[in-house]
Chain A
Amino acid sequence: MRLLRSLVKTVAAYALLAGSISFLAGAGFVNPYWVQILMLACIVAISAQGLNIIYGFTGLFSLGHAAFYGIGAYTAAYLMKTYGGQSQAAFLAALLAGGGASAAVAYLIGLPTLRLTSDYLGIATLGFGIIMKVVFDNADSFLPELGGARGMTGIAKMTTIPWVIFFLIVSLLVVRNTIHSRYGRAILSVREDEIAAETMGIDTFQYKMVGFVTGCAFAGVAGGLYAHLYTFLHPSNFDFFKSIDILIIVVLGGLGNMSGTLVVSFGWIFLLEGLRVFLPPGYVELRWVLIPVLLIVTMLLRPQGIFGAHEFPFLRGKGAR
């Protein structure tokens, strides 16, 4: 009964959100450019929610998130281009395959590196991110369709508002329901104190792996959505600096805070694009001065992230405060 009721509520929320935005866009109330930015913000929010699992909840410092985003993007785009055509079902399968590919690579990377402590893991994932950038740059040498350093073109435009809203809601539900269960608490205990967690019966390596693989799968799905939104992929979209962008979003939102990550993802994207519009021509690159300043000010005033420990009601656990 309870399951049915929450399912109905979720579907209703989804229909309302996706329907109203699609209507506003379709009827021409919202400029298509801003619709595209809105979709990008949703995609970034999914990817950031993934890093939030990895760094915010599990406490694993990862500097290679964009690489997993890229693996998902290239995998989904390649599958769709070669086998999918324009089919919606194939698109869904390609997105899940992208997430799966990222998860599989994350598992292989995790086997040796998750035994390292946090700082060393940061270095290891940084190295992995740089290796993947080189792989993307030279990808045409083993799969010509991937384009290598020239970029991958000819990807179908499949990503629509209903798709991004759907995956955003699913990602939020997965994080919320996991965190407020025994699995989520086990993940949190790893972040808090690994030795204490081990002696309380938590297999810390296993839960580090669960956190890392799940977070990377989110990045993979987000990457697939990104590929089919802009229909063009270039290795520079997945370099180290893109990992830092997501890291900034998660830290600004408050580590381990779902609401903060969600809001800051949208804020970040709209600020970047908004400044492009509002700054006088010729001063647009001042964005890269204003944003670090904003970051420094936030960290001085709210080091716990803008949301602190507060969560939106729909992201709270059962029986929480």
Chain B
Amino acid sequence: MKRIATTLVVLGLTAGAALAEVAPNDVAFEDGAIEQSLSGTAGNAENGRKIATTKSLGNCVSCHAAEAYADVPFHGEIGPMLDGAGSRWEEAQLRGIVANAKMIFEGTMMPAFYKTNGYIRPGNAYTGKAAEGDLPPLLSAQQVEDVVAYLMTLKDE
């Protein structure tokens, strides 16, 4: 029953978007927000939680604490707590924050997760060596959508 409902929502959202992925350079920001889904496929909140709390993926936990993922050890305290983010922000704003937080918070320390160029001495991941060619974004279009879907579940009680 629950499954069917989710599928219907997915179909509803993607109708017309034709599953087109928006490339990092083509993202349209409006006041720091991104209206259009980056992947054309609805995000998976459960997967988003994993991305946010896994070091090799989004690693949001290294800077943000949240009671919502209290089971994960060692929360950073660089950025605000993420509990309630889904009440404070619209989905389009959260998409913008994750894709490139600098578009909303000028000069913020938060890295841009959906961007491929404009870096100073970009490296090949954590090797310390120069990057060869264009870097892939830190998160894929679908991973951004998944993280946004997860953030939308973090509502104020």
Q: Do A and B come from one complex?
A: no
